[in-house]
Structure 1
Amino acid sequence: MGQKMTAAVLYGREDLRIERLPIPKAGAGELVVKVHAALTCGTDLKVYRRGYHARMLKPPIPFGHELAGTVYEVGEGVTAFREGDRVVALNSAPCDVCYFCRKDQQNLCDDLLFNNGAYAEYIRIPARIVEKNTLLVPEELLFEHAALTEPLACVVRGLEESQAQPGDLMVVIGAGPIGLMFMQAAQIAGVRVVAVVKHDAQVDAAKTFGAEWVVQTTKVEDPIAAVRALTPDHRGVDIAIEAVAVPETWQWAVDMVRKGGLVNFFGGPASGTKVELDTNRLHYNDITLKATFHHTPGTVRRAFDMIRNGQFKSRETITGRAPLAELDAVLQSYLKRSRQDGLGDIKTAIIP
């Protein structure tokens, strides 16, 4: 019998169990990482609530995907890492040979390799992720801050794909973890941000993360008019980022953007969701609609640099800590708050 570890396993809808599993072994090209911090994430919460993720996991399966830790075991042939190295290992890696990878769309790779199981004492990192998407973490950087690389890399891709330029005016609809990250990344890039939020506590959070103006939907009659009123001649913003993932806010985003502007539908609604859009407005105003999914090795490194050099507000993003045994209670509290007032921690670091 090999050594055992504690790990969270998702069995289905809101069915998460803390179990004793064998510590994984490192095969050729692989690493086993001792997890020092695994972060809660909106995608994890969505998966926990729905019981599956079409692209990333089918239960029962070890759970969680934002992590940093130290190398515990080095597989045969690995030369870039040694036992004891501090690392952040991403949750996926592209093949770099398929049609989409050759088109510089590695996030859409036909063979995108996903890895889950961050909510555990140890995790095995597949060879391809070791090779393409595992980075050394400097001594001065906290593990929980390094673990922010994955969600920030998705945001960085979203920002780059939205063609944001310094001085642009951008609206970010939603002040969950991803919305707040967008505000912060936009501010770092010299983009001016209008935040659209719902709850009182989100007003302060949006300002902390870089919003110059905040429109609170419960305090205005028409959020679209309120946002346009902040722009010259009420013409609308240059870029609209939708980070709520409901049809109404998709429609708001289209109506908040100026002629020739761009809308990025970043929030991923449930499968089968349909949205009605004004085709006249889209056509005659030359509006670009796009969506951005996941990250690439390039945006991973750019996000990591923002965290490492202190530009990104990592300390303000990690607002809670809990042991692995309390993970289910943490996720339940997030669900409860999202159904009630949307308040609470931005991200919780689970410390195995």
Structure 2
Amino acid sequence: MKTKAVRLYGKNDLRLEEFELPPIKDDEILAQIISDSICMSSYKAAIQGEDHKRVPKDVSQNPVIIGHEFCGIILEVGDKWKHKFKPGMKFSIQPALNLKENPYAAPGYSFKYIGGSATHIIIPNEVMEQGCLLEYNGDAFFYGSLSEPMSCIIGAFKANYHTESGKYEHKMGIKEGGNMAILAGVGPMGLGAIDYALHADRKPKRLVVTDIDEARIKRAESLYRAEEARKNGVELIYVNTGTVSDPVKYLLDLTGGEGYDDVFVFAPVKAVVEQADKILAKDGCLNFFAGPTNPNFSAELNFYNVHYNSTHIVGTSGGNTEDMIDALRLMSEGRINPASMITHIGGLDCVVETTLHLPEIPGGKKLIYTNISMELTAISDFRKKGETSPLFAALADIVEKNNGLWCLEAERYLLENADKI
């Protein structure tokens, strides 16, 4: 079977190509990808090429398919896995395989025939052996694509910990009923974190979300309202720290001077990290969620507080399979709706340009439907493009009825009416 896929050959070298997939082995699975969302991690892999930890050193001779936030349909199952998987099943994949022989190997970075930026793939035995091929029972494929980024958020919330004086025991998870801050928190992953904080089983009593982009703050406020948060027992406050003369004092005053039990940093900015450190409460946990591209990135921390106030720091980079299962469950139950992450839609033929210029493109997640041809388009531009395109006019009507968010109806209309790749 032929596939069309975006393959990485080296630094800044991505190519959309058509090539033949080999027949599957008895321990492999053939699948069709329907949707894939582009992650900043794919940009880092594309920029760093063979220097990236997950990318093979011989990638110039053996290119890999990029993309790891994907959802699709199983087409053919090798004999070894016929007892567990069937043709027609929808699936998502946890890319963090954690293989003993190569802990960095992951779909979307390391494999020749599996990655999200493709029409068709071969799922290797390692994925199934690690329990990383997950059945998806939802209707919209894009939710399956968003289960991976949501699993990263869920994993971060679980990775925070707190202690009790005199006991050598870490109590894992955010502090229930505590003060939480999400700094630089209205980007796509920050929005997912707000959603999860408001609707998970364990919630803070107060959630303060900061940023310096007023337009993005307003969008977040329209999606996650303070009134809705109160119904879930959470006081939700948005702060534009760019308009505050003393952000640290302002943020501390919101807690009556107590400080924050859990602080999440969603941008690799020195000043933001140091601000997070300064607002920690006693036994406060700072989670450095943002992944820097600079291996020498550093910031100052107050070690007096580490010693006397038991403040501490953790860093998380991805979730595990359990986290992804949790994400799929919460979405299928309608408890979280990460559609707020998505701001752009495109086809497979826009992946190369989008990935290589991802930091320069404003907005949130860029969702790709891999079997169609379509330039990357902001959802907010659908109406304007609809002046000359019936496709975009119809999509604009659909999303405007859904508070400006991408949805199942829009996905189905796009897949039925867009040009095929």
1:220 Cα offset (Å): 1.5
Post-superposition, which runs of at least 4 consecutive aligned residues in structure 1 deviate over 6 A?
none
Q: Residue deviations 1:125-180, cap 9 Å, x none?
A: 22232240222222x52111111111111111110111214322211112222222
Residue equivalent to 2:359:
335
How do residues 9-48 of structure 1 correspond to structure 2 at under 5 angstroms? 9-48=7-46
Structure-1-length-normalised TM-score: 0.86
1:333 Cα offset (Å): 5.4
Q: Is the 2:54–2:104 Cα contact (8 Å) retained in structure 1?
A: no
Residue equivalent to 2:190:
179
Residue equivalent to 1:71:
74
How do residues 18-167 of structure 1 correspond to structure 2 at under 5 angstroms? 18-51=16-49, 54-58=52-56, 59=59, 60-78=63-81, 79-94=83-98, 111=103, 113-116=105-108, 117-131=115-129, 132-138=131-137, 140-162=138-160, 163-167=173-177
Q: Is the 1:89–1:130 Cα contact (8 Å) retained in structure 2?
A: no
Q: Residue deviations 1:288-324, cap 9 Å, x none?
A: 2111222222112111111111111133223322110
Are the structure 2 counterparts of residues 277 and 165 from structure 1 closer, same or farther at C-alpha, using a change threshold of 3 Å?
closer
Q: Is the 1:24–1:123 Cα contact (8 Å) retained in structure 2?
A: no
Residue equivalent to 1:103:
none
SS at match of 2:243: coil
Task: Give distance in 1, aligned partners of 2:50 and 2:225.
Answer: 34
Q: Is the 1:180–1:205 Cα contact (8 Å) retained in structure 2?
A: no
SS at match of 2:346: strand
- The residue identity in structure 2 corresponding to 1:197 is D
1:219 Cα offset (Å): 1.4
Q: Is the 2:289–2:317 Cα contact (8 Å) retained in structure 1?
A: yes
1:240 Cα offset (Å): 0.4
Task: Give distance in 2, aligned partners of 1:243 and 1:52.
Answer: 27
Alignment partner for residue 200 of structure 1, among 202, 205, 214? 214
Instruction: Mark the structure with the bigger radius of gyration.
Output: 2
Q: Residue deviations 1:86-135, cap 9 Å, x none?
A: 1112213245xx7xxxxxxxxxx974641122101112222232240222
Q: Is the 1:24–1:32 Cα contact (8 Å) retained in structure 2?
A: no
Residue equivalent to 2:369:
350
Q: Is the 2:29–2:78 Cα contact (8 Å) retained in structure 1?
A: yes
Alignment partner for residue 169 of structure 1, among 166, 175, 179? 179
Aligned CA RMSD, in angstroms, stands at: 2.3
Residue equivalent to 2:258:
235
Task: Give distance in 1, aligned partners of 2:249 and 2:289.
Answer: 22
Alignment partner for residue 326 of structure 2, among 302, 314, 320? 302
- The residue identity in structure 1 corresponding to 2:308 is Y
Once structures 1 and 2 are overlaid, which stretch shifts more, 45-54 or 288-297?
45-54
Task: Give distance in 1, aligned partners of 2:273 and 2:316.
Answer: 14
Residue equivalent to 1:188:
199
Q: Is the 2:74–2:87 Cα contact (8 Å) retained in structure 1?
A: yes
- The residue identity in structure 1 corresponding to 2:92 is V
Once structures 1 and 2 are overlaid, which stretch shifts more, 214-223 or 304-313?
214-223
Alignment partner for residue 266 of structure 1, among 272, 281, 289? 289
Identity of aligned residues (%): 24
Are the structure 2 counterparts of residues 26 and 92 from structure 1 closer, same or farther at C-alpha, using a change threshold of 3 Å?
farther
Residue equivalent to 1:102:
none
1:244 Cα offset (Å): 0.7
